[in-house]
Amino acid sequence: MGEGKDAREHAKGHRERLRARYRLSGEAALMDYELLELLLTFAIPRRDTKLLAKKLLERFGTLARIFEAEPRALEEVDGIGPHATTLISLVRPLATRFLTEPRGAKTVLRSTADVAAYFQAKLKGLLEEEVHVAFVSAKNAVTATECLQRGTVDQSVVYVRKVIERALAHKASGFLLAHNHPSGDATPSDHDRDITQALKAAAATVGVRFLDHLIIGDHSPFSFKANGLL
């Protein structure tokens, strides 16, 4: 009984010291496993979470892969239950909203780098292909973003008419298209090239600017505009 109580007191003291380090110096003071360990304490309050954090990193390799993992894959790690899985799964959508949600003034996409950062937060690392469109004003301020299509792991169909209809519904001056390649390779396929040209022609007929089409992979996105294909 005494040993169990001592272990719990030690774990509690360790958690408090970890939280104190974070409050004092921020994430720079903690290693990856310690940040994850600290996060897990909020879902697993009465257990030492250091070993669990190290198990997760050993299984998935990086923090990014942990936060991208499916709940069922997380729960395959011994000691990770529904509460911890839910907490871990919340990190990515919260980060996405923080990075892409306008704060006061609208988000303005002034360059390919701006567009890449905007869509990477939404699409990088997804296991299925998704097609997102950002609708913009005459000064390229984002007025709305929609996910227009979720496909299988290797294919997603973009309906040209649907994109144009949504642009007109939003009274957008222009739009930017982005989709991810779950394989991680951002090289455009023949289908990607064909749909880009079809959208370019359709947008021109209604006087809406088609500003760029990005493909999001594991590394640098592919921009049709930057590569002279739009």
pLDDT per residue, tens digit, the chain (230 aa), is: 444 555 555 556 777 888 888 887 777 778 899 999 999 999 988 778 899 999 999 999 998 889 988 989 999 999 999 999 999 999 988 888 777 765 555 788 989 999 999 999 888 888 889 999 999 999 999 999 998 888 765 666 778 999 999 999 999 999 999 999 999 999 999 999 999 999 999 999 999 999 999 999 988 999 999 999 98
Structural domains of the chain sorted by starting position, each given as residue range(s) with its CATH number in brackets: 2-98 (no CATH), 104-223 (3.40.140.10)
Find how far residue 154's CA is from the centre of its chain. 18
Residue 21 CA to residue 218 CA, distance in Å, equals 32
**What sign has the CA pseudo-torsion 188, 191, 197, 198?**
negative
CA-closest candidate to residue 141, choices 171, 111, 164, 110? 110
Please say whether the dihedral angle defined by the alpha carbons of residues 69, 73, 77 and 80, taken in this order, is positive or negative.
Answer: positive
What does the alpha-carbon distance between residue 211 and residue 139 come to, in Å, rounded to a whole number?
12
